[in-house]
Amino acid sequence: MSPGRLIWILGLGAFGLAFSITTVAAYLPPVLAKFTDSSTLIGLVLAAEGVFAFFIPFLVGPMSDSTQTPLGRRRPYMLLALGPMAVTLGLVAFMPNLLLTALALFGLFFAYYVYEPPYRGLARGAPRRPTCRGRTGYRQGESRGRMSPKPQSRPR
């Protein structure tokens, strides 16, 4: 895969991950408030993400490390999670009660954390160009070289 294509895939993945979690964090509390007056219950439903974030990566990460397919090690898990993530994110807005909304949200969290560890592993394996720095990085490196004190010899 060309580096440019990989950058697009990683960029779209990052956008999807950020969009889904931001949408849930910003818009779900008012949606859940339609079903219950308990802010504690709303907080518990939203805090369930932490349970998924803690356990799912420990299962999916090692599995994606040891998987060998023609698509690679990471992409099968990412493709497996894309559909459920999109469907459950879309369904959350149309659920008629708190229980179904919470179940759709838990499905989103599950799919999100199936997608996220392979995505991070794929991002770590992206090609890097260590010699390519922006103008600021170059200037900072140049300044540090001139501004650093010269090593002094030790007295014998």
Split the chain (156 residues) into runs of 10 and give each run's mean pLDDT. 74 83 87 93 92 92 87 86 89 92 94 88 66 50 50 55
101 CB burial (10 A radius; 0-12, 13-18, 19+): buried
Q: Are 135 and 23 in contact (CB under 8 A)?
A: no
- Predicted local distance difference test score (pLDDT) of residue 25: 85
- Predicted local distance difference test score (pLDDT) of residue 155: 57
- Predicted local distance difference test score (pLDDT) of residue 114: 92
- Predicted local distance difference test score (pLDDT) of residue 48: 93
91 CB burial (10 A radius; 0-12, 13-18, 19+): middle
- Predicted local distance difference test score (pLDDT) of residue 7: 75
Q: Are 92 and 30 in contact (CB under 8 A)?
A: no
Q: What predicted TM-score, i.e. pTM, was given to this entire model?
A: 0.73
- Predicted local distance difference test score (pLDDT) of residue 152: 55
- Predicted local distance difference test score (pLDDT) of residue 122: 76
Q: How far apart are CA 131 and CA 96, in angstroms?
A: 55
H helical segments located in 1-156: 3-33, 39-66, 75-92, 98-124, 135-147
For the record, the structure tokens of 22 come out as: 């931001």
